[in-house]
Amino acid sequence: MSQLLSGQVALVTGAGAGIGRATALAFAREGLKVVVSDVDSASGEETVGLIRAAGGEATFICCNVTSDAEVKALVDGTVAAYGRLDYAFNNAGIEIEKGRLADGQEREFDAIMGVNVKGVWLCMKHQIPVMLAQGSGSIVNTASIAGLGAAPKMSIYSASKHAVVGLTKSAAIEYAKSNVRINAVCPAVIDTDMFRRACTSDPKKAEFAAAMHPVGRIGRVEEIAAAVIYLCSDNAAFTTGLALPVDGGATAI
C-alpha cells in the first residue's frame, strides 16, 4: 500500500506526456485529485481525459514554468480548485543539447537552465508556503542520473540536473522540521516519446541505451511514477533530501 490518502491533491508539471503523464495517472489511481500542468494544452487536456475516463478527478492548468507569474497562478489555481496541495511533482524539463561543451550555444544554455532549474525553483518557491500553511506536504523533483555524474555531450543538461539535486537537498534541510519533505528522482534512459524520436533518426541508440543499464533494458515511465508515489507516501516519512536513482543499476558501475 502506498499510504496516500484518497481525496488528497497532487500537482504534476510536464504532465502532458511521458513520466509526467504516467505519474499523474498513478496519483489518480491512488484516489487523489490531480492538477495536470503542461505548456502544451492539447497534451495536458489529453492526460486529464485519460484520468477522467478511468474514473478519476483532474483539472488542467496551462503553465510555462519559467514564468513566476504563471507558476504562482498554477499553485493558486490548484488551491482554488481543490482547497489544498499535498503533493507536487516538479517534472517539467527539456533536453535539447547534442554536442560538446565548446560547441554549445547561449540560447541552449538559457533554455535548458530556464526550464530545468528556474522552473523547479519557481515551483518550490510557490508550493512550499502553501504546504507550510497547511502543516504538511511532499515535493518530488525530476533530476537525472546526469545530475549524479558526468554526461558527455550533454554538459549543460547535466549541469541543470546537478542544480536540481542541489536545490532539492538544500530545500529539504531548510524545511526538514516543518513536515514538508523534498526529494528527487534520478531516472536513467526511459522509454518516452522523446527517446523514440531519437531512435528514429539513429536506430542504434536503442541498442546502446539498453546496454548502458546492467539490467539490459531501458526503463518504463510507470517505474519512475512508482518511485514518485513512494517518495510522496508515508512509507517514506523518514526520507527527505534524497536524490533517488531509478536507473537499472547504471550508477552502481
Is residue 42 exposed (0-12), middle (13-18) or buried (19+ Cβ within 10 Å)?
A: exposed
pTM of the model: 0.96
Please report the pLDDT score of residue 2 as a whole number. 67
pLDDT tier at 4 (50, 70, 90 boundaries)?
confident
Please report the pLDDT score of residue 205 as a whole number. 79
For residue 82, indicate whether it is catalytic: no
- Torsion sign across C-alpha atoms 216, 222, 226, 228: positive
Gap between the Cα atoms of 146 and 151, Å rounded: 5
Q: Which residues contact 161 (CB under 8 A, 6 or more apart)?
A: 116, 143, 144, 146, 147, 186
Q: Which of 82, 87, 157, 230 is catalytic?
A: 157
Q: Is the predicted pLDDT of residue 204 greater than 90, yes or no?
A: no
- Mean pLDDT value across residues 158-165: 98
Please report the pLDDT score of residue 113 as a whole number. 98
Q: Which residues contact 78 (CB under 8 A, 6 or more apart)?
A: 9, 11, 35, 61, 85
- Per-residue pLDDT reduced to its tens digit, 10-55: 999 999 999 999 999 999 999 999 999 999 999 999 999 999 999 9
User: Please, what are the domains in the chain?
Assistant: 9-189+220-245 (3.40.50.720)
Q: Is the predicted pLDDT of residue 171 greater than 60, yes or no?
A: yes
- Torsion sign across C-alpha atoms 185, 186, 188, 190: positive
Max mean pLDDT range (1-10, 103-112, 197-206): 103-112
3-state secondary structure of 151: coil
